[in-house]
Homo-oligomer: A and B are copies of this chain.
Amino acid sequence: MPKRTDTRARMLATAGDLLHRQGYTATGLNQILEESRAPKGSLYFHFPGGKEELMSLALERASESLTEMIERVLAAAPSPEHALDAITAYFAGQLESSQFTKGCPLATVALEQAATSDALHRVCSATYGRWQAAIAARLERDGHARERAESLAGFLLATIEGALLLCRAHRSTEPLLRASAELRRTLKGTP
């Protein structure tokens, strides 16, 4: 049944992109159906749990490729500072090419929904947890004690997330570039 699978995959991809750009609340089911060219009846056929199920899966799917990129960069970079530079460049490019509509793909949904939707809270919390664990693993590999690596990783993640938010608020990549430069100092200063 290749067609059914195609429709489902298209709906997830479209929903993921819309969640990234405009968040959960502004993303209506009709918009997803239209933009993914899916027939009206297909929502509950593919996603019996309705909007929350479709959105949770779409968010999970959308963040999966970013998680893989982050893990790959952290594993392959010659140093944590190089990984930080690569991740900074990635997000700065995405912010600019999207006219500041695309920062972190989870952030808007997390702020809109994590306090009230258990399903979306679980996706956001698990994904941020994986990113933090990937950073911590790299820092540990470079000689930081486990507890120190964990704490520093949470700090790096918070700073990058906040900087991405400020970039969108100011419509400028400056907050990210400056925060990244400060994080480089932190990484150098804490062996």
Binding site for B on A (CB under 8 A): 22-23, 25-26, 99-101, 103, 106-108, 110-112, 114-116, 121, 124-125, 128-129, 151-152, 154-155, 157-166, 168-171, 175, 178-179, 181-183, 185-186, 189-190
Contacts and interface: CB of A to CB of B under 8 A. Distances in A.
Stoichiometry (number of copies): 2
Given A111-B23, A162-B163, A175-B154, A128 B181 contact: no
Given A107-B111, A111-B107, A112-B22, A151 B178 contact: yes
A158 B151 contact: no
Contacts of A106: 169
A26 B108 CA distance: 12
Contact of A165 (B116, B121, B161, B185): B161
Contact of A155 (B26, B101, B171, B179): B179
A178 B165 contact: no
A156 to B, nearest CB: 9
A1 B85 CA distance: 58
Given A125-B171, A158-B175, A169-B125, A152 B110 contact: no
A170 B125 contact: yes
